[in-house]
Chain A
Amino acid sequence: MSKQQGRAGLLRGSIFLFLLLGGAVVRTNAAADALQEIKQRGVLRWGADAEGGAPYTYPDPQKPDQIIGFEYDLAEALAAKLGVKAEMVQNQWDQLIPGLERGNFDIVLNGLEVTEENQQRNVLTQPYYVYAQQIVTRKGNRDITQMDDLRRKTVGVLSASAALRLIAKIDGVDMRVYPGNVEALRDLKAYRIEAAVMDLPIAVYYAKPDPALQFAGPSFASGYYAIGVRRKDSTLLAALNKAIQELAQDGTLERIYRKYNVWDEQQIGLKDFRPEQVVARKSISTLREWRKYLPPLLRAAVTTLELSIVAMTLAVVLGLVIVLLRLYGIAPLRWLAKAYVEVIRGTPLLIQLLMIYYGLAEMGIRLNAFCAAVLGLGMNYAASESENYRAGIQAIPSGQTEAALALGMNRWQLLRHVILPQALRLVIPPVTNDFIAMFKDSSIVSVITMVELTKEYGMLAMSTYDYLGLGLMTAGIYFGLSYPASILANRLERKLRYDRR
């Protein structure tokens, strides 16, 4: 479904931690009947992500502290049927299932697609909405009218979405994975991609009103949204199924969907929907099936490695230029270098990346994702490298300068032959630290559609729900790459040491 849900990379860690802490506090009255508990409490807690969630669940643009959306109205109607109040619990979209399992809320009601994966460990109610996929292109494009036309085209999809699974099957498609559909549409308008595929309601809300965009062909590949419930909460499941059935038949659903302009004739089928029995599949152990899951992780690790090496090279060189300007440059350049370091260090890398990728595109400078990622990481780390160098240069005793000047060296010769050779040896350890830090920090570039190791892990984990097994593999790869780097740096440091006694 919709979403800015991404921001994923950097948020995922903190959310995971939050869930761990949260889980320790949340009572898990496993024995108690969930329906009974909800009625006693008088509140039905439903999990959803309101960030970029129109028209499902989103903050009212007129009154931003009020949540609206067709799912919001549906939750209210369902709660009313159960005789309780509804209360939305905000939760990052791609973490809704883990959140449900941890007991942060009673149900997930947020564009959850009826797929095998989603029914592995939890159950789904009968569907409350029939969605379909819609291809969106720039106005005037006549090449693309159906899925087959996407072959060898650059296509944007939302991470962990039905569209992604569908498009991934097309041969030779150049797929770009976005944290949110809004970003995909922006890149479509910036000519970075040729088409975007997304759930119809989102296309209706975000793309249809945009004069620069058009719907390419009819919608296709329909599927169902349903409510996710913990497997053990069977009475709650039954009560919700009954309530959805009633809301479909008494016209409440149609009224709600028309209000948000997401009604179409496909929804009529919901009235007579008879759920087919989905057999619970046993959960996937990615560790046991490592032959299948390790190669995509390794491929992603190559991207991470390339990115880190190129970006660090840029940082090391640019940092040197900056520190030389700062220490030895003429006045305006000196101030400029200092300002650069302070501004870059004082602003988040995330914002710098988004500005380079999306911001510059608005001004007509369209860098591809890799270049933007290298530039963002490289410029950011150049600031800290220049500070490392500065510390190294200032650690060289003034006697060295005096000796070189007394020998008749000019300022450049002094720098080139006396100061820098000593300073650069001093900064090997901090620069190595930064390289290893960047290696891990580079996961942030998933916000600008780069699929690197952490993003790949997130995508695989989301479809298998084996966060642990994949996590071990991913962590192993990170460690296996960064540990040799630190060994290498130690060796280099030892080799270049001159104060051996």
Chain B
Amino acid sequence: MTVEYAKFIAELAERYYQKAQQKKLLCTASLDEVRMAYVALAEANRQGVDDYETVRKIVQSALVKDPECVQPFEEAWDEMLADLARK
């Protein structure tokens, strides 16, 4: 479980960062923030509360620190889900 989460968050963070760059927004998605998301997700998973809404809430809370960064995050999230669905 946790390995997939780590990969998912890292790829999501990279896409989110690239999309923000294209829009000239300062949305960092730094290593610390990726780690923050991963650790909290691992805890949610340990407790069995890692449903879709909670996973999204935790990841968004850790990565998105500014309201103007919500849009690039949502675009990156939707793309990641579409990719997962194709696999």
Specify whether A and B are partners: no
**A interface residues with partner B (beta carbon < 8 Å):** none
